[in-house]
Amino acid sequence: MEIDDKAALVTGGGSGIGREMCLALARRGADVAVVDRDFEGAEATADQVREAGRKAISVECDVTDPAQVRAAFKAAREAFGRLDIVCNNAGISVRTPLFEDHEREWVKTIDINLTAVIEGTQQAVLAMQEQGRGGVVINTASMGGLLPMPGSPVYAASKAGVVNFTRSLAYLAEESNIRVNAIAPSFVDTPLVRQGGEERMEEMSQMVGGILEPDFVAAGVVEIVEDDSLAGDIMRVTIRGGRDFAKRVRP
């Protein structure tokens, strides 16, 4: 798909990978709805999109609330008259030890990383089917969805869910000209990762050979949007391997 003059919606667009996704799409000519629970962050990203010469709106949204998600999609379509690209990117990582957690903190990880991705994909597909022009949905997974993570098993489970959910929707490309794919980065230098402190950053860097920059991941999103052959595919993004694809799985 050519990105120029298309309209995109990005969740978690107020910072980190999401912000870079918004800017990468804007530089290719897309208008962008920046969706984030941090409205100030979303508006800061929207300002940068406007500086790049494209239209932007910022939408405050808790992606675990279906009503707010539906409202965000409605706002994007009303603002731009169309919706062609959706990046379900919002995510968290709760590191509370699973077997010591009496407050069920891990439930938030599933709600944001997996359930909200399903909700966002549903809203995207319904909008694109109604428009009849097709579109592209990109879900943010993780290398933790392809490999075990003993230190964060629920996070790994949530991202593995995103991976298989995405693969299971490959048929939409033929049925509705809607391509659903996922991007699975290794550790990325974002505010979320930096919350763990410099020691944790160094530990992760040594584990995987370095920390990715968000714009390198965002460049992968552009590649996925522009490659019409991709449907149900998972782009891996790592320091050692660059951007490549996990083995294709077809039913």
The answer to the question of residue 184 being in a domain is yes
Is residue 193 over pLDDT 70?
no
Is residue 57 over pLDDT 60?
yes
The answer to the question of residue 174 being in a domain is yes
Q: Higher pLDDT residue, 158 or 196? A: 158
Burial category of 153 from C-beta neighbours within 10 Å (exposed 0-12, middle 13-18, buried 19 and up): middle
The count of structural domains within the chain is: 1
Distance CA 138, CA 165 (A): 12
Q: Higher pLDDT residue, 151 or 154? A: 154
Q: What amino acid positions are annotated as catalytic residues? A: 155
The answer to the question of residue 248 being in a domain is no
Is residue 177 over pLDDT 70?
yes
The answer to the question of residue 153 being in a domain is yes
Q: 185 lies in which domain range?
A: 7-242
The answer to the question of residue 36 being in a domain is yes
Distance CA 248, CA 167 (A): 9
Question: What three-state secondary structure class fits 86?
Answer: strand
The answer to the question of residue 77 being in a domain is yes
Report field, pTM of the whole predicted structure over 0.75: yes
Tokens 């990046």 -> residue: 87
The answer to the question of residue 70 being in a domain is yes
Distance CA 208, CA 195 (A): 18
The answer to the question of residue 247 being in a domain is no
Question: What three-state secondary structure class fits 193?
Answer: helix
- At residue 190, the pLDDT reads 62
- CATH number of 210's domain: 3.40.50.720
Q: In this predicted model, what pLDDT tens digit does every residue of 212-223 receive, in sequence order? A: 899 999 999 999
Average pLDDT value over all residues in the chain: 91
CA distances from 114 to 73, 172, 206, 248, 251 (A): 18, 19, 28, 21, 22
